Amino acid sequence: MFEERFEKLGMTEQENFKRILNWILAHTFLTQMQYNFSDSLRNTNPDYVFVERNFELFQEYLQYGGFQLERDSNYGVISLSSSYDANRHQFNKFTTLMVYVLRLIYEEEREKLSLSREIFTTTGDLVHKMISLGIMGKKPADSILRDSLRHLNRFNIVNKADGSWENAGTRLLILPTILFIVTNERISNMYTLLEDSSEAKEEEEFTEVEQD
């Protein structure tokens, strides 16, 4: 039973369990590696290690609330999903299209790499890619660009170095979580979304991630 196994944890471990549980509910994805822009080093995320060590305990607790916790050791991603629509977060259409383009960039850049698993782009390159694909005719307003990237950062999909999100030269780290929000099956729908974006700019469409 959950209660018995939880009580076997030390006080510090119990507090870590509560803290990390709340973080996962708020952010959906937890990654094994953390990248430090200041020294260009990647470090193991201790929270990921803790969840991995107590994975069945987290799973059992979350199942009571209708959540599913999954782990992909190959990419170092722990992800949360829900069986109920009330706990599904919806991106607006622009953010949805941005996610798909980030996935394309991730795939293109990954093919060029041999050792490093970090995939980088810049805000300027992202905007240029969106324009070249016909998603938009010109650079969006800074507020729209900033809000969308902040939204993706909240769900641990992108991180950035110093600088404003909307600054063209700001380096963006695309996390492997992009592979789980835009699966191989979903990416096949991208061209449909692109066609819709050119025909109905104001129409609202959504993609989903899980949140508390």
pLDDT tens for each residue of 48-71: 999 999 999 999 999 999 999 999
By C-alpha distance, which of 126, 130, 134 is closest to 109?
126
Query: CA 151, CA 90: separation in Å to the nearest integer?
Result: 11
Query: CA 171, CA 123: separation in Å to the nearest integer?
Result: 7
Encode pLDDT of 127-146 as tens digits.
Answer: 999 999 888 889 999 999 99
In this predicted structure, what is the pLDDT of residue 33?
Answer: 94
